[in-house]
Amino acid sequence: MLHRRHLLAGGFALAAGPAFAQGNTHAHQAGQFERLNQPGRVDLPDLHHAHAVTDSPAPRAPRQGAWRALAPLPIPRTEMAWAVEYRGRMHLVGGYAEQRVDRAYHHAYDPRTDVWVELAQVPRGANHVGVATLGDRLYAFGGFLEQNRTPHDGAYAFDGERWHTLRRLPEACGAMACIALDGQIHIIGGAIGSDNRRSIDWHLVYDPRTDRYSRRQPMPLGRDHAGIVVVNGVIHLIAGRVDTFHTNSNLHHTYDPRTDSWTFRAPIPTARSGHGCVWYRDRIFCMGGEGTNRVYGQNEAYNPATDSWEAYAPMLTPRHGMGAVVIGDAVYVAGGGPQMGGGVKSAINEAFSLA
């Protein structure tokens, strides 16, 4: 059942006035945060200002673009880790919310109406769920049952109305990078374990026609919380953490399914994990992310034609563990943590555009 509070979120933002432009104050953030260990809305935590970093070592792009604020999430959420575009809306599955780390919440945002709705919940609540869209379905793989550890092996597909149970993963895993390509879903990297949590280098391919998994060439270095996109039939895997955000990676590799091989590309200027990663216009944009006492607002873009990076307008609100998707001619980034770790969740929803 849809809760009334979820349907009102977009209407509140629309009544509040026009979107904020790049460089304005953070007045729109009031009351859009909540602590993991305490109910009740709060303002942007003071610790955010100590952790937030927006300066990029990459050269500035001639056209910087701009961010604008949009209707906030109905409830503050973080550690979904990713989002997907499905039927013209941004979908967020699982994550931390309302003092739990294993929520099954499923929200969708429609940029045409600036409204959020709550949809059928994923069968097993978890954080850092691997998600992808293929054909007319949204897929969800694994995720952690505790705070960024203790994964499960469940897999599900959403048909727009309800969820269907799929064949389980070969091993319980969370924080994988998932992407659809040529009728299959690539599930790359991730982390396993509880007290002995560690990154892995696996590379699975799920075929929905047979409901089975097969293995491909492992990634060159095991990591999780990585960014992933497909460009011209080739997978780009960017940054991520090696066991922990204290050892973030700046590595950037491409995988060619025709040769089952990986190739090294220009590293991302800012090593990070838990960031957004999307293909927008003719660039791969990476924004946000987390490091040691750092929450990154850098918005860095990779040009495949020149194998080089440039810096664009940084996020209005640096965050990590949020969702990022492209719909139409804009990048939408929702939720996430405004300080290192998962102690604070946000309802922030902002969009970046070069228009």
Q: Give the N- to C-terminal CA distance of the chain in Å, as an integer.
A: 38
* Spatial contact of 142 and 176, defined as CB atoms under 8 Å apart: yes
How much is the pTM? 0.92
The kind and range of the H/E element at 54 are none
pLDDT tens-place string over residues 171-218: 999 999 999 999 999 999 999 999 999 999 999 999 999 999 999 999
Does the pLDDT at position 230 exceed 80? yes
pLDDT tens-place string over residues 83-142: 999 999 999 999 999 999 999 999 999 999 999 999 999 999 999 999 999 999 999 999
- As a whole-number percent, the residues of the chain with pLDDT over 70 amount to 92
Cβ-based neighbours of 106, under 8 Å, separated by 6 or more: 91, 92, 93, 94, 118, 119, 120, 121, 122, 158
Q: Order of strands across the sheet with 344-346?
A: 38-42, 33-35, 344-346
Could you give the number of structural domains in the chain? 1
Helix, strand, coil percent content, the chain, rounded in steps of 5: 5, 45, 50
pLDDT tens-place string over residues 57-67: 999 999 999 99
CATH number for the domain harbouring residue 61: 2.120.10.80
Residue type, 180: A
Interstrand relation of 52-53 and 294-296 (parallel, antiparallel or unpaired)? parallel
pLDDT of 26 reads 53
Q: Which residue from 268, 160, 165, 151 is spatially nearest to 202, judged by alpha carbons? A: 151
pLDDT of 267 reads 98
Q: Which residue from 268, 260, 271 is spatially nearest to 294, judged by alpha carbons? A: 271
Structural domain of 312: 4-353
